[in-house]
Structure 1
Amino acid sequence: MSLNRFDGQSKLLLRSLSFGASGAYRALSIIHRQQRANPDMSLCDFIETLCQDEITCPETEVQPLTVKPLVCLFPPLFKQNLLSFIYLVHSRLPRTSVFHLLKCLSLDPCPNPWVIALSRQLERSLGAHSEEPLYTPMCSQRLKDLSQHLVGSGETVGWKCLKGQIAEPASLSVSDLSELGTQRKRKSSFVTLDSDGEETVEQQSKRIKMDVCGSKHGSAKQWSGHEETPERCESDATAENPHEELQRAPDSPCDALPEHIKLSVLQIKELVESQTEWDQSSTDVFKVLNDCDPAQVEVLCSTLSFPDLPEQTLPKLCSCVLALSPDLSYSTAAALIKSLLLEKVLSLSELASRCLVTTATSLCSRYPRPMCHALIGPVLDKNIGNPQAELLNRLIEGCLDSHYRLLVFQMTFRITWSEAVLSIIHSLLDSKPDLNEELFAQFIDQLVNQGPQLTKSVKFAKMMLTVLTKYSSCVTAAQKHSLSGCLMINETFLKRSLQASLKRITHTRDGNTL
């Protein structure tokens, strides 16, 4: 499957929709940010690209090539998140685009029951009066069996909605289905938009007793063995207490954590979600980071959804981390920085917020080496823009000493230079790093190799001028000859100044006359 049809912003949406059960809300947050930066942005192109035909290769040589809509080639989780996301924003989209997407999804030869239900619900929201229920006939029969079991056992709390509803399957609505555990998340949430178009998510805890999943009257294996059940019963039921909730999630990566770390995860989650002020006890909660190995830190960050944290929470969390004693190890700090900041920095479409800048500079000042390898390096490897370059320049100029500036300087040798990267290199050169002969020779090679693609770049010309003036004593005869050829093809207004500066170089460090 080729993703080259999507632009950078669309690829960011694709990645967010592929990320767990919260993908729809991640995509909603991203689209709000993108629309603030570009009010004319529309999702229509994104939807139409998903609806384009794609040739798929057969699994065996006997089977012929087939053509399917691109959206059908994505995994079921992506399709579910996509439909949930479209449901949240469909009022702002043309009906024809949404119906086109639904038609393409209906061509899937192996449809997922969740995708079918979400598609039908979206059709109803668009005014298409469909008599088809949101669930399969087998699902309806299992709901009847479940209702009879609960009534027979005398358990009615939380299941009163089943009475009188199972007899008429077509009348069962989405709100009824949500009470039956059809939602993927343990906690339900609803989304409203404030005056600035920001997402507000309010979560309310649901306590649903599902003794049928663990009691002697019913076997969980019987319910998970049918293909129409997309989730196991245990994953739909909310535990009686938070600690039990972690223990009863058999497929959760958090199961691999020791008990004391699991307890700390719950405490951190409660702290992050609370609206109260953080005190000294809040710092004590984060001491668990010093007890984790690198793999456990990654599981902890993933379980707590650190990449999804609101930016206004970052400074408080950063203060607690910086208050820890002893300092975090390199691997722990790197994993934490990557989880907290990398995705937020890569998704920037405008200048970084004060909260994000404060957090990044604070962590960079304390943990410069992890910051270079976990954030600055990975960001440089991407096709970054001015917002990312502006933030990296702040970190380089304000937080990194000469040793780490040289490290970042070497990182730029492994990537293709863009206008944003050129501004970072120019800033590094202005700080007069201590370049040895080998490092300077590598840099000159990069200038010569990448120069032909940057003949019209004023930033590249200014950087060359900096090299010829501030580092003239480092230039050898061979390098001067190579630079001369590079300047010949320059097409900016600085060409004559560059050639004049190159002619003024008459000596090198080894005393040879040029």
Structure 2
Amino acid sequence: MFLNRFDGQSKLLVRALMSGASGVHRAVSVFHRQQRANPEMSLSSLVETLCQDEISCPQTESQALTVKPLVCLFPSLFKQNLLSFIHLVHSVLPQTSVLHLLKCLSQDPHPNPWVTTLGRQLERGLGVHNEEPLYTPLCSQRLKELTQRLAGVGETSGWAKCLSGQTIESGSQSASGLLELGTQRKRKSSFVSPDSGGEEMGQQSKRIKMDVCGSECVDAEEQSANEETSGRFEKDAAEETPAEELQPAPDTDSLPEHIKVSVLQIKELLESHTEWDQSSMDVFKVLNDCDPAQVEVLCSTLSLSDLPEQTLPKLCSSVLALSPDLSYSTAATLIKSLLLEKVLSLSEPASRCLVTAVTSLCSHYPRPMCHSLIEPVLMEKNIGNPQAELLNRLIEGCLDSHYKLLLLQMTFKTVWSEAVLSIIHSLLDSKPDLNEEVFSQFTEQLVSQGPQFTKSVKFAKMMLTVLTKYSSHVTAAHKHSLSSCLMLNETFLKKSLQAALKRITHT
């Protein structure tokens, strides 16, 4: 439910930041795509929403309701990704907004050390004087102990001599064990002598130092607090956010070996800049071997939502060439993963590549397209003319009458806007086969949602289409309802609307 607090563009960024370890990279990619489409785009709306007060429900009956900034209710991984993201793009944000966000994060009753450190580092980057160290007191103590153990072990080969002759206690793991682990990771050699020195030893020592520091600084209580907060958010946002975006990484271990191999082949193909031959296209046959859950993992692993638009036509051609056709669930998952985020983020007319991909898949898989792409776009509160133009292309060139009727019924479930009015008008112009029940439902929508469009020319033109092209459907009861609706109209088409309604007679 937290995702409903954000507008369309901010919601895409939030979903990207929730997508695990790759969240920062995905958010930057989404932001740059939005910025290219709309150079005036600002992140202020995202930050303002995150700083809004939100009621926090108690975990137990004995606890009282509390009010916290919305950002404090997100899991720690999201906060870490958010601060790293802002560090990369803070130049487009006012300094006061960033400082306000950091102040809100400081109200977290269970602060995560990494979030605290990233916040302090961001403050320093903004020029704010903060003398507090970036590391925790526990980490400071461990570093002091490590420094004392290393003192006086030699000038040129101190790390090597230390690791070969002394023991660094880190729980149950010793430095010699770390050295052995580091040795196993060497690519060109199976054994490294502590006395060999040189560049290879220096590189290995860097890895060992990082391992020792990382293993010493983990705090079990901090991990517990992070998991508790993360679980809370995932429960609230489960219906809004795809499951793969709530996980640190897709669970590729659940895939059979032959599918894993195909995923690697597809990934290499998508990243190549060469022409695809028939053998290349054949790797997509694996889609017919996957069940719905495996298709989701495959799409997530390939990061199809981040695929460059110029690659879409080739990919769609390969999918459309498959025989037999994909099942409904596989096609729906593929379309949603590949196209939904791209369409929702449009702020200018869709590119030729995107239009080609959407229309080709819609012509071949109309039902999955209606449910996995068109319906979510219609339900989005902030869709604009670019989305409406793209959907109108599909209505005019790709969908049969019964699918157009399905889309018209979908519009009954959403709040109308100027963009939705354009889509409804396009549906009505295409003359779907309206039965009496659907037309009555549509009339009820006209009457209930009409008062907010008293000055809308688009709404007036849509009404004129209803009264001229569907006059045979208008009953006496409909006529009475529509008459009261037209009385509120304030456009130049009011007289034409009243005249068209008056011409409708009943025998």
TM-score interval for Structure 1 and Structure 2 normalised by the shorter chain: 0.7 to 0.9
The code of the aligned residue for 1:148 comes to A
Residue 132 of structure 1 aligns with which residue? 133
Residue 391 of structure 1 aligns with which residue? 390
Is the aligned partner of 1:153 residue 2:154? no
Q: Distance in 2 between matches of 1:147 and 1:126?
A: 40
Q: Which moved more, 1:267-276 or 1:89-98?
A: 89-98
Cα pair 1:458 1:492 within 8 Å, conserved: yes
Q: Distance in 2 between matches of 1:255 and 1:361?
A: 34
Task: Map residues 490-501 of structure 1 onto 2, 5 A cutoff.
Answer: 490-501=489-500
Post-superposition CA distance 1:384-408 (Å, at most 9, x none): 2211111100111111122222222
Question: How far has the Cα of 1:70 moved from its partner?
Answer: 3.0
Q: Distance in 2 between matches of 1:470 and 1:258?
A: 55
Cα pair 1:55 1:67 within 8 Å, conserved: yes
Question: How far has the Cα of 1:120 moved from its partner?
Answer: 4.0
Cα pair 2:24 2:81 within 8 Å, conserved: yes
Question: How far has the Cα of 1:129 moved from its partner?
Answer: 6.9
CA distance 1:151–1:37, change in 2 (3 Å): closer
CA distance 1:159–1:16, change in 2 (3 Å): farther
Cα pair 2:250 2:297 within 8 Å, conserved: no
Q: Distance in 1 between matches of 2:425 and 2:207?
A: 69
Q: Distance in 2 between matches of 1:303 and 1:273?
A: 13
Question: How far has the Cα of 1:45 moved from its partner?
Answer: 4.7
Residue 452 of structure 1 aligns with which residue? 451
Residue ranges of structure 1 left out of the alignment (5+ in a row): 167-175, 183-219, 232-248
Post-superposition CA distance 1:51-98 (Å, at most 9, x none): 444453433454445443332221111101101101211244444443
The code of the aligned residue for 1:59 comes to Q
The code of the aligned residue for 1:301 comes to C
Q: Distance in 1 between matches of 2:333 and 2:212?
A: 38
Residue 39 of structure 2 aligns with which residue? 39
CA distance 1:152–1:104, change in 2 (3 Å): same
Q: Distance in 1 between matches of 2:431 and 2:248?
A: 55
Q: Distance in 2 between matches of 1:421 and 1:154?
A: 60
CA distance 1:154–1:56, change in 2 (3 Å): closer
The code of the aligned residue for 1:310 comes to P
Cα pair 2:312 2:357 within 8 Å, conserved: yes
CA distance 1:53–1:306, change in 2 (3 Å): same
Cα pair 2:120 2:130 within 8 Å, conserved: no
Q: Distance in 2 between matches of 1:310 and 1:180?
A: 40
Question: How far has the Cα of 1:422 moved from its partner?
Answer: 1.2
The code of the aligned residue for 1:464 comes to M
The code of the aligned residue for 1:160 comes to G
Post-superposition CA distance 1:338-396 (Å, at most 9, x none): 11111211122222122111100010111111111111122112222211111100111
Cα pair 1:139 1:228 within 8 Å, conserved: no
The code of the aligned residue for 2:397 comes to G
Residue 437 of structure 1 aligns with which residue? 436
Residue 417 of structure 1 aligns with which residue? 416
Q: Distance in 1 between matches of 2:452 and 2:48?
A: 33
Question: How far has the Cα of 1:482 moved from its partner?
Answer: 2.2
Residue 86 of structure 1 aligns with which residue? 86
Cα pair 1:121 1:134 within 8 Å, conserved: no
Query: Residue 350 of structure 1: SS of its match in structure 2?
Result: coil
Q: Distance in 1 between matches of 2:481 and 2:248?
A: 62
Task: Map residues 65-464 of structure 1 onto 2, 5 A cutoff.
Answer: 65-127=65-127, 130=131, 132-134=133-135, 136-137=138-139, 140=143, 145=170, 148-150=175-177, 153=180, 155-156=182-183, 157=186, 160-161=202-203, 163=205, 226=220, 252-383=250-381, 384-464=383-463
Q: Which moved more, 1:438-447 or 1:150-159?
A: 150-159
Query: Residue 20 of structure 2: SS of its match in structure 1?
Result: coil
Query: Residue 352 of structure 1: SS of its match in structure 2?
Result: coil
Equivalenced residue count is 443
Q: Distance in 2 between matches of 1:144 and 1:348?
A: 55
Residue ranges of structure 2 left out of the alignment (5+ in a row): 147-167, 187-199, 227-246
Residue 206 of structure 1 aligns with which residue? none
Is the aligned partner of 1:23 residue 2:33? no
Cα pair 1:118 1:134 within 8 Å, conserved: no
Post-superposition CA distance 1:458-488 (Å, at most 9, x none): 1111111111112222322222222222222
Cα pair 1:223 1:229 within 8 Å, conserved: no
Q: Distance in 2 between matches of 1:85 and 1:67?
A: 26
TM-score (norm 2): 0.77
Higher relative contact order (CA 8 A, sep 6+): 2
Q: Distance in 2 between matches of 1:417 and 1:81?
A: 35
Question: How far has the Cα of 1:29 moved from its partner?
Answer: 2.6
The code of the aligned residue for 1:88 comes to L
Query: Residue 390 of structure 1: SS of its match in structure 2?
Result: helix
The code of the aligned residue for 2:489 comes to N
Residue 245 of structure 1 aligns with which residue? none
Q: Distance in 2 between matches of 1:121 and 1:162?
A: 28
Q: Distance in 1 between matches of 2:202 and 2:38?
A: 48
The code of the aligned residue for 2:464 comes to L
Residue 505 of structure 1 aligns with which residue? 504
CA distance 1:366–1:7, change in 2 (3 Å): closer
RMSD value, Cα: 3.4
TM-score (norm 1): 0.76
Question: How far has the Cα of 1:291 moved from its partner?
Answer: 0.9
Q: Distance in 2 between matches of 1:154 and 1:265?
A: 30
Query: Residue 432 of structure 1: SS of its match in structure 2?
Result: coil
Identical residues among aligned pairs (%): 72
Cα pair 2:19 2:249 within 8 Å, conserved: no
Q: Distance in 2 between matches of 1:295 and 1:125?
A: 43
Is the aligned partner of 1:50 residue 2:50? yes
Question: How far has the Cα of 1:227 moved from its partner?
Answer: 5.1
The code of the aligned residue for 1:10 comes to S
The code of the aligned residue for 1:340 comes to L
Question: How far has the Cα of 1:299 moved from its partner?
Answer: 1.7
Q: Distance in 2 between matches of 1:460 and 1:181?
A: 65
CA distance 1:101–1:472, change in 2 (3 Å): closer
Q: Which moved more, 1:286-295 or 1:272-281?
A: 272-281
Cα pair 1:17 1:81 within 8 Å, conserved: yes
Cα pair 1:51 1:71 within 8 Å, conserved: yes
Post-superposition CA distance 1:128-162 (Å, at most 9, x none): 57572546517757997468235653945487357
Query: Residue 22 of structure 1: SS of its match in structure 2?
Result: helix
